[in-house]
Structure 1
Amino acid sequence: MIEIIGLISPFFGLIALGFAAGRLAPHPIGGLAWLNVFVIYIALPALFFQLLSKTPVEKLASVGFIASTTLATFVIFVVGFAVALLRSRGDVPASTIQGLAGAYGNIGYMGPGIALVALGPQAAVPVALIFCFDSVLHFVMAPLLMALGGGEKLSAPAMVRQVAIKIFTHPFIIATIVGVLGAVLKLQPPGPIERSLELLAGAAAPCALFAMGVTLALRPLKRVPPELFTIVPIKLILHPIVVWLVLVLAGPFDPVWVGCAMLLASLPTATNVFVIAQQYEVWVERASAVVLVTTVISVTTVTLLLYAISTGLVPTHPFSN
């Protein structure tokens, strides 16, 4: 357990450092804009490209794994959405944000760094695949349900166009596509470009985690929404359990891939959920609270999950002889 704590503490330490800086330094949240541009459009895409372009092509065509993890995340979204819909007596827009809060983990900012350090370079491919297909799922569900619930008035063609633009202009997904093409064509960037990519990839996780901490600090928790008592266990406990169940039933899969999928599922609610809430002007303050609370609690839950994975307490092939 001490080894796991030592492994994961620098990541949450960077979030805490960003949180402290955000509280102590009198700067508005707009000051984060260029750091976020660097992380989202440059550093993390460089990391995804590097990881995928050097991966054997056959590992990238893991249809069963992709279908299983995406299905598990969809199940969690449906559970969170249904619980919220019952509680709110039919408020579809607010229930959509709550469903996303339970299913949309911080797999972009936190996922690559923690997974690669905890599980090794073999985690690179499942991280990229899960990120891409989970992101597509969320990009589809948010505008679709907002339109159906009256939160946004869009025609069917306009909604399809909006979803397609969000998917195919997302810098992580573009980097993934280019990385896959690089793997297929066996492209090797020239030395100076390769070294630049290495520098950018190395900066991705520290900058992303620091920016996340600052963001949390500048959106203080004013009150505890009652919905947290269902969303927090759905996101931090139920999500990784459902992912594990689906994978062991659909498998067998590589144990590292199973561990990686569970780890990503256990991560706290993504800050993008707050961004989506702001976009539709629905459940904004509570979405911010969910991001903050799940992040704080995940320090314990993610550590315990990594300990369970590393010690074999979570079997990856429980039904095999």
Structure 2
Amino acid sequence: MLQILLVTFPFFALVLAGFVAARRRMLPLEAIPGLNGFVLFFALPCMLYRFGSTTPIATLLDPSVIGVYLLCALVMVAFTIAITMNARIRWNDASLGALVAAFPNTGFMGVPLLAALLGPQAVGIVILTMLIDMVVTSSLCIALSRLDEGEGHGGQAMMDAGRKALLGVFSNPMPWSIVLGAVASAYAFTLPKPVEQTVWLLADAASPVALFTIGAVLARAQMQSNHPMPLADYVPVALMKLLLHPLLVLALGTAAIQVGVPLSPAALSVMVLAAALPSASNVSLLAERFGADNGRIARIILVTTAAAFLTFSGAVALMT
């Protein structure tokens, strides 16, 4: 366990550093969008391209991983919406809450952390789970969040929101960098040396800047949402993310292996650990954009990120 904590500690320490820097205004809040832009449009796409181009294409197109992980994501979304909707939490808040319960922080945290823990062979599976969440889970939850928009117009609103969500996916550089990396892997393509070195330098910057930015984003969200909120509105969803999601992936993955699905135990371990990650921090931006209760979403992300230092480390100890 100590060896695991020695690996995970620097990752969570960088998140804490970003949180403290923003809280103490050592990092101006106005600078956070700039950090986000650097990570989203430069560093992280380069890191994903590097991992994708050096990962066997078969790993990036594993139908067993896709099927099991996608089914778990759909179950998590349906279950979270079913138990959280009430007179105050309607479709918009319930659907975005379901997204933080089903969408782990694989981009900013999971890829570098699991590569450090399990080696580069784990990265292809992590990238595949991230694609599923970016394309399917996010689009579904955004579409469901529009069901509040008037009786008789919910279906059309849902379709419009689904189209907007897909447009958002297509304008996101991360899926494209994964696709380009997969194509490069399939055709054994390598970039010209000066270009490759530039891309690799940006890729090396992705992990520390992304983790620091997570902390800063969480601090900003906490500072901007000071209204009181019942623990029951966000703690159960945080527990579902950290405990129920990985247990569901483990249970369904184990059942799939037992009935003959060609899913390797090593791949299942990576999927479980990906599910055990804290909630994706970018869901807070989606909640703000679509008018959901961003204070609730930010609290869920903050709780899962803080608690994951122990829960994620425990999951690693059990799965490795």
The TM-score normalised by the length of structure 2 is 0.90
Counterpart for residue 124 of structure 1: 123
Check conservation: 1:122, 1:256, Cα contact below 8 A: no
Distance 1:296 1:59 in 2: 31
Distance 1:113 1:88 in 2: 41
Please tell me the residue identity of whatever aligns with 2:54: K
Moved over 6 A (4+): none
Aligned residue pair count: 309
Give 1:90 deviation, angstroms: 7.3
Counterpart for residue 209 of structure 1: 211
Check conservation: 1:224, 1:289, Cα contact below 8 A: no
1:157/1:261 CA distance change after superposition, 3 Å: closer
Q: How do 1:53-132 and structure 2 match up within 5 A?
A: 53-85=53-85, 87-88=86-87, 91-132=90-131
1:286-313 deviations in Å (ceiling 9; x for gaps): 1111111111111110011111112xxx
Give 1:63 deviation, angstroms: 0.9
**Structure 1 residues 60-69 or 214-223, which shifts more?**
214-223
1:145-200 deviations in Å (ceiling 9; x for gaps): 12222189755764453233122221110101111111222211111122122211
Counterpart for residue 250 of structure 2: 244
SS at match of 1:282: coil
Distance 2:90 2:212 in 1: 35
**Structure 1 residues 242-251 or 42-51, which shifts more?**
242-251
Q: How do 1:1-321 and structure 2 match up within 5 A?
A: 1-25=1-25, 27-85=27-85, 87-88=86-87, 91-150=90-149, 158-220=160-222, 222=226, 223-225=228-230, 226-251=232-257, 252-310=262-320
Check conservation: 2:81, 2:94, Cα contact below 8 A: yes
1:44-79 deviations in Å (ceiling 9; x for gaps): 111111111122222222111111111111111111
Distance 2:173 2:37 in 1: 10
Check conservation: 1:68, 1:247, Cα contact below 8 A: yes
1:282/1:58 CA distance change after superposition, 3 Å: closer
Distance 1:277 1:160 in 2: 15
1:246-273 deviations in Å (ceiling 9; x for gaps): 2122235233322221111111121222
1:279/1:308 CA distance change after superposition, 3 Å: same
1:90/1:229 CA distance change after superposition, 3 Å: closer
Provide structure 2 residue ranges, at least 5 long, that are not aligned to the other structure: none
Give 1:141 deviation, angstroms: 1.4
Counterpart for residue 315 of structure 1: none
Check conservation: 1:88, 1:95, Cα contact below 8 A: no
Distance 1:50 1:243 in 2: 27
Give 1:130 deviation, angstroms: 0.5
1:123/1:180 CA distance change after superposition, 3 Å: same
SS at match of 2:106: coil
Please report the RMSD computed on the Cα atoms of aligned residues, expressed in angstroms: 2.0
Please tell me the residue identity of whatever aligns with 1:268: P
Give 1:9 deviation, angstroms: 0.2
1:21/1:69 CA distance change after superposition, 3 Å: same
**Structure 1 residues 50-59 or 104-113, which shifts more?**
50-59
SS at match of 2:272: helix
* Identical positions, percent: 28
Distance 2:98 2:87 in 1: 13
Distance 2:28 2:10 in 1: 26
Distance 1:159 1:291 in 2: 23
Counterpart for residue 316 of structure 1: none
Give 1:104 deviation, angstroms: 1.7
Distance 2:300 2:134 in 1: 19
Give 1:89 deviation, angstroms: 7.1
1:210-246 deviations in Å (ceiling 9; x for gaps): 0111112223274453222311221000000111112
Give 1:29 deviation, angstroms: 2.2
Check conservation: 2:93, 2:145, Cα contact below 8 A: no
1:67-97 deviations in Å (ceiling 9; x for gaps): 1111111111111111112x33772112112
Please tell me the residue identity of whatever aligns with 2:114: A
**Structure 1 residues 195-204 or 243-252, which shifts more?**
243-252
SS at match of 2:255: helix
Check conservation: 1:243, 1:261, Cα contact below 8 A: yes
SS at match of 1:129: helix
Distance 2:21 2:157 in 1: 44
Check conservation: 1:74, 1:137, Cα contact below 8 A: no
